[in-house]
Amino acid sequence: MGFLENKARARLFYKYFSTLYDTVNPFIWNEAMRDQALEWFGVEADDRVLDVGCGTGFATEGLLQHTNDVHGLDQSDGQLSKAFAKFGKAGDVRFYRGDAERLPFRDDAFDALWSSGSIEYWPNPVDALAEFRRVTKPGGTVLVVGPDYPDSTLFQKLADAIMLFYDEAEADRMFEAAGFESFEHHIQQRKPGTPRAITTVATVPERGEEAAEPDPVAN
């Protein structure tokens, strides 16, 4: 497990890194990559969408171009303070401080769920993906963007020491373990030689008979 796959260390890291995040992020995950992922996401105007690991709101801004019903969740006070500065605490987006592995929402609360640049910090990614499946309505889309595993052995060792990097085979394993049956992966890259992202678009399967009826967003 990488150094930042620890919730306390990740919060401490973003307490300071949040001041630089919007400057650094475009070199790794830019608007063109986000907008391509939004096309795959296919959210519609009336959809209620949760942005998990919303950070300073870069993906949130893109989601608002497609629907007005966007909710953002992050565990970092530093990141959320930047999001509040962009959107306001009582603006178009409702923000929550919370944990991806224990989402504070009822079953089937959202039509679709987006998470970009967050999975790499989760100690138990399968638990979080299972939570995504739980809070998203059957037939809804879950999109997750994470860092693709490097080709170089040296960079693989460095990546493993820092956080979660994974390839398509590992993505298959995680999504299947979390109960997803239908999903596809896309590799995205700003330009040759820059870090690659692996973007998975999954469909939430139908519930069993024991599943609860859809409920409001928050408990």
Token readout for 35 is 């907008």
Answer whether residue 218 is part of any domain: no
What is the pLDDT, as a whole number, of residue 63? 97
- In whole angstroms, what is the distance from residue 44 CA to residue 218 CA? 21
The structural domain count of the chain equals 1
Q: What are phi and psi of 154, to 5 degrees?
A: -60, -45
Q: Residue 18 CB: number of other CB atoms within 10 A?
A: 20
Answer whether residue 207 is part of any domain: no
Range of the domain at 46: 7-196
pLDDT in tens, the chain (219 residues): 665 556 677 676 656 566 666 777 777 789 999 999 999 999 999 999 999 999 999 999 999 999 999 999 999 888 899 999 888 876 789 999 999 999 999 999 999 999 998 998 888 999 999 999 999 999 999 999 999 886 766 555 665 666 678 999 999 999 999 999 999 999 999 999 888 999 999 999 998 744 444 344 654
Answer whether residue 137 is part of any domain: yes
- In whole angstroms, what is the distance from residue 71 CA to residue 129 CA? 17
Distances (CA, A) of 87 to 62, 73, 90, 207: 13, 14, 8, 35
CB 115 within 8 A of CB 53: yes
Q: Residue 96 CB: number of other CB atoms within 10 A?
A: 18
What is the pLDDT, as a whole number, of residue 37? 98
- In whole angstroms, what is the distance from residue 196 CA to residue 190 CA? 8
Say if residue 73 is exposed, middle or buried (CB neighbours under 10 Å; 0-12, 13-18, 19+): buried
Q: CATH number of the domain that 63 lies in?
A: 3.40.50.150
What is the pLDDT, as a whole number, of residue 211? 42
Helix (H) or strand (E) segment spanning residue 184: strand 182-189
What is the pLDDT, as a whole number, of residue 213? 41
Answer whether residue 109 is part of any domain: yes
- In whole angstroms, what is the distance from residue 56 CA to residue 31 CA? 14
The answer for 21, left when phi > 0, alpha when psi is -120 to 50, beta otherwise, is: alpha
Answer whether residue 202 is part of any domain: no
Answer whether residue 163 is part of any domain: yes
CB 15 within 8 A of CB 76: yes
Helix (H) or strand (E) segment spanning residue 114: strand 110-116
Answer whether residue 208 is part of any domain: no
- In whole angstroms, what is the distance from residue 175 CA to residue 1 CA? 19
Q: Which of 148, 138, 126, 151 is nearest to 212 (CA)?
A: 138
Answer whether residue 80 is part of any domain: yes
